[in-house]
Structure 1
Amino acid sequence: MPHSVDVHVGRQLKQIRTLRRLSQTDVARRLGLSFQQIQKYEIGSNRIAASRLFELANILDVSTSYFFEGLDADSEGAADSAMDIVQAVASIKDEKTKSRIITFIEDVAGATVTRRAS
């Protein structure tokens, strides 16, 4: 059974990868791994080594601490809801509509999401 910290870090990885509009294959190629390994990281079945976490942070343009944010306050329901929202926004095909929705969320949350070109 995966450790709860590994599951949390994997969820964070999946969330930021999705926000950056990168596939598991995109990330895997940059690390010289298979997309299956990224899948295992994301579900927490394989633990991410510190050096690999550092590489992921650089690829995804976040600090390494990003992967541990919310760890103390993490609840399955909140994380699942957030992931549902991320996936829903990522699935919007019209880039103008997607951008407007992201801007709305940023305005309501008082936060800014760093966007990368697709």
Structure 2
Amino acid sequence: MKHPIDVHVGKRIRHRRWMVGTTQQQLAEKVGIKFQQIQKYETGMNRVSASRLWDIAHALGVPVSFFFDGIEDAPVPASDMPGDLLSDREALELLRSYYAMPENQRKQLFELARVLSQAA
């Protein structure tokens, strides 16, 4: 049975991997394991040891604490949003594209999205 903490950490691994545009194979090679193991970590099927999490954090350029961010928050999904944004490919691609833009364009896009969502 999957433990909720393992599932959360796995989702954060997948989220960061997507944000930096790395494949499971590329991450596995950096960490020195098979890509199937990355798949198992990302789904929470296998627990990530402390030393392996350290290696993954280093490979993805984040502190280990990144993988535990938001763990104390119980997300309350809106009815028109996917229950798990970190597993939604479209949402992750949107985030990656958003952060690839210059800051002034991001601010303008954010304001536009905020206004459009209020008008809906």
TM over 0.5: yes
Displacement after TM superposition at 1:88 (Å): 4.3
Cα shift readout 1:16-39 (whole Å, capped 9, x = no counterpart): 000010000000011121111000
- Scaled by the length of structure 1, what TM-score is found? 0.73
- For structure 2, which runs of at least 5 residues remain unmatched after alignment? 111-120
- RMSD, aligned α-carbons: 3.1
Which of these residues, 74, 81, 84, is aligned with residue 80 of structure 1? 84
Bigger CA radius of gyration:
2
- Scaled by the length of structure 2, what TM-score is found? 0.72
Identical aligned residues as a percent: 34
Distance in 1, matches of 2:60 and 2:7, equals 18
Partner of 1:104: 106
- 2:38 equivalent to 1:38: yes
Change (3 A) 1:98 1:9: closer
- For structure 1, which runs of at least 5 residues remain unmatched after alignment? 109-118
Displacement after TM superposition at 1:74 (Å): 4.0
